[in-house]
Amino acid sequence: MILIEWNEELELGIPEIDKQHKKLVDMLNEFYTEMEEGHKKEAAEYFLKELEEYLTYHLDYEEKFMEEIGFPDLENHKKTHEMFKALYLEVKERYLNGDEKALRELIAFAFSWLFSHIMKTDKKYARYLQERS
Ligand SMILES: [Fe+2]
């Protein structure tokens, strides 16, 4: 696995949401670096507290945003957030029950999910907003 580099393709053109996505990428990279440097415990604590908190904040923010702009596909988008949260909780549970490998799985999953989610799903409401204005 490698670090995610922020690039233009990840940009939605919505400043506040782009800022949040960037922060998530930074946080995931930081977590990954800690892991690579062998600071497993600190990395795990960071991931399960700060990152989880920020991720939840971000997903809620996005859902409210889509509601405000009247995005018609809101329900489907919410479903993908729910699916992510459910999978996240499942892997987290495994980690907390002593499965050490689960943490790596969790981070790999969060990385790829965030990336493809922004590229495919988030871009839909960005496009909608653009077309509407
Ligand atoms: Fe989203």
Domains in the chain, CATH or no CATH each: 15-132 (1.20.120.50)
Q: What percent of the chain has pLDDT over 70?
A: 98
Cα(114) to centroid of ligand 1, in Å?
A: 8
pLDDT of residue 133: 79
Cα(94) to centroid of ligand 1, in Å?
A: 25
Please check whether residue 106 is in contact with residue 92, taking contact to mean a CB–CB distance below 8 angstroms: yes
Find all residues with CB under 8 Å of 39, minimum gap 6, and list them: none
Task: Band the pLDDT of 55: cuts 50, 70, 90.
Answer: very high
Mean pLDDT score, 67-95? 94
Rounded to two decimals, what is the model's pTM?
Answer: 0.90
Cα(43) to centroid of ligand 1, in Å?
A: 25
pLDDT above 90: residue 128: yes
Say how far apart CA 67 and CA 2 lie, in whole Å.
Answer: 34
Task: Band the pLDDT of 104: cuts 50, 70, 90.
Answer: confident
Task: Band the pLDDT of 1: cuts 50, 70, 90.
Answer: low
pLDDT of residue 44: 87
Say how far apart CA 70 and CA 20 lie, in whole Å.
Answer: 21
> How many CB atoms are located within 10 Å of the residue 96 CB?
12
pLDDT above 60: residue 6: yes
Which residues have their alpha-adjacent CB atom under 5 A from ion ligand 1? 62, 122
Cα(77) to centroid of ligand 1, in Å?
A: 6
Cα(11) to centroid of ligand 1, in Å?
A: 13
Mean pLDDT score, 94-108? 89
Mean pLDDT score, 105-123? 89
Cα(117) to centroid of ligand 1, in Å?
A: 6
pLDDT above 90: residue 80: yes
Cα(23) to centroid of ligand 1, in Å?
A: 15
Task: Band the pLDDT of 42: cuts 50, 70, 90.
Answer: confident
Cα(73) to centroid of ligand 1, in Å?
A: 11
